[in-house]
Structure 1
Amino acid sequence: MRSTVHWGVAHGLPTLILRRAADRGDLHARLVRTGGRGSEAFDLVEEIRARGPLYRSQLGYVATSHATVREVLTSDDFRTGFPTDQGPIGRVARWAAPRTLHPVEPPSLLVTEPPDHTRYRRLVTRVFTMRAVDRLRERTEEIAAGLLDDLEPRAHDEVDLVESYCSLLPVTVIAEILGVPEAERARVLDFGSAAAPSLDFGLGLRRYRSVSRALAQFDTWLGQHLEQLHRSPGDDLLSELVAVRDEGRGLDETELKATAGLVLAAGFETTVNLLGNGIALLHDHPGERARVGADPSLWPNVVEEALRLDPPVLLTARMAQRDTELAGTTVRAGSMVTAVLGGANRDPEVFPDPLRFDVARANARDHIAFSSGRHHCLGAQLARMEGDVGLRTIWERYPDLRLEPGARRRETRILRGFERLPATLRP
């Protein structure tokens, strides 16, 4: 009962509103409904951009310029949340919200705000440091090489890179971060695959239920795993997170679960998308691939340019906390502003010739693919490292890799990536 009500408030009702607005020609609704599928979303972004830095729609506002998107994400005048969080619908939503962990329900870092967010993030960032990511690099290189070794006997046959490489690399790294025993890693892969759509919007009831089941199962497993780490901590980052303290106070059990759930859902799907999008861009631009082959020092910049041109997360949203001015327009309290990360990353005012894939682009790192402000992606450095290792390793091992017909984008609205990417490694 509660889960069906929550689906109705969080997915069903908004989808109905979007469909009706899109049928009336609203560009905002059409963009969200199109989401991460194909190139149509970017065509709509440019159509919206032509209307100015802040487009007023039937649903709220849309920001596509780099400056306006960054302001929305960094200003204290805006917060995470939706208008449905307020009033009678908000009370129903809170009553029906999942009792198990969920990456877009409190206390997830994605949706908490100061002062809770400040304390919470300060503790988590003590563990998820650049040094911790550097320690994981060598292991990530071993994992990537091992996955490609496993594919060697099939190198002349068609393989799905999403299934056999892009998904297995990040989920194996996540398993190491969470201290998952080897025997249980297949379960965690299943959890990650099933739970990743929880970050998206407009799920159908059947998909919503499968996601909810996966999150509930992961919640149960994680409770047992945390008990084990309390008794016998390992050298993984989750064990460190269990022990970290700030002024004598650490993360409680719910916050630990929320962090682990966010690492699983956000760290899995977005990195799968980064790897798939990056492989496709390099395949489709052989001249740029030759440049990075001649100068391997460009690999980190390849990751930044892939994040800029085809980001794993297309858009996000914020709600105005108070009446405020944005891009010369008065935005009333309670209004929603959709910040199109993929639009900001193609702003011609910031990125010359923005539709060109340029592995040596000097300011590629100025993208906003990881959001900005207090909700800047906690795993950004980890994703960058996995992208660098994952793309470099596969192209150095298989420089003649050929993508085959049949690639398919995910049917997602917020996230953007491939569901299937067939390839022949040695044509």
Structure 2
Amino acid sequence: MTDQPFDVERIRKDFPILSRELPGGRSLTYLDSGNSSQKPRQVVEAMREHLEAHYANVGRALHTLGSEATEAYEDARDKVAAFVSAPSRDEIVFTKNASEALNLVAYSFGNPVNTDERFRLGPGDRIVISEMEHHSNIVPWQLLAQRTGAELRWFGVTDEGRLDISGLEELIDERTKIVSIALQSNVLGTINSTSPIVGRAREVGALVALDASQAVPHMPVDVTETGADFIAFTGHKMCGPTGIGVLWARAELLEAMPPFLGGGEMIELVTMESSTYAPAPAKFEAGTPPIVEAVGLGAACDYLSSIGMAAIKRHERELTAYALDALAEVPGLRLIGPRIPIARGATLSFTLKGIHPHDVGQILDDEFGIAVRVGHHCARPLHLRFGIPATTRASLYLYNTTDEIDALVRGLHHVQKVFG
């Protein structure tokens, strides 16, 4: 961590793509980091250097390159563990993305090979999620309910875009085995308080999972302080590469969980009749892992830590307050999510009266070089909750500025004139 003043212009220089000129001479205004963040030079160089000088497969070779690659891969695990304050590096499992991490957890429930009572799931048992979830935290639980006959239930969302926990004690009851919610919504920007949910889950003996894909890149996250049992997040939203995600889980739970994928490196002993498995995290990392991607994720952790996650959170909170005020001045704009910068992140989803979000995004890109995301953002049930098919989403990050928010507002006024 660092106590240096937050210098967004210096930070922007670390991201070569932000100075790119788009076709037609347009400059790039990138407001789509909730989808995938841009990559600093430090991450790109770390991956390039590994490929050029140290690349080999990991855990398989005794030669110099194999040893260097294995050391780099495991060093990345150490960096990720430190980044989220995990008690042990062995609680960090590398996956393909957060979706795979959540599927891994869901696979462990109701699995007949798992005799641990905490993971026993069948008819009469309950799974609890929320209406604001990304599809990655809905579909795996739907599939689990279909496999086991368990009942899927969910928290609603208030008109203000907050999690409705008014029926907490009825929703999470003695039949509940797992609760899985987003730490921060990818549409609403809402940051959910975990303490009441974790507290109730503990009362009834349920486990708790958090989708932290929109939280870990933007604020300090201490996995133990959340009180959760499982936390999933992804590399490409936190200045790292695609193709790598993370599951953190308490060590005793990883020990109890069965392997998710079978193959090389996750085994202890294999015969033609049966196999025994390596301890976690190797048990969950079958086959050749995302080696270079892990190196890049480790470099991303270094980069973000050098700036300071608390400083990034402060910068984004200031941007969010500025953006909320600026967007409020746009006629016909309906913000979907909290209207105050309290317990919310820098994700702003909205509609413009009478104009389809796809048209909004197309004009912003074609005429102003402003990259936003349009659609239901893999959260269709949430959009149905608000009676809309899609939204335009501007998602901000450490490299964004108030000037870019002003550009967005000017662009939205232009869109309205086009359709006026």
Q: Normalising to structure 1: TM-score of the pair?
A: 0.30
Which structure shows the higher helix fraction? 1
Choose 1 or 2 for highest CA Rg.
2
* Structure with more contact order per residue of length (Cα contacts < 8 Å, sep ≥ 6): 1
Which structure shows the higher strand fraction? 2
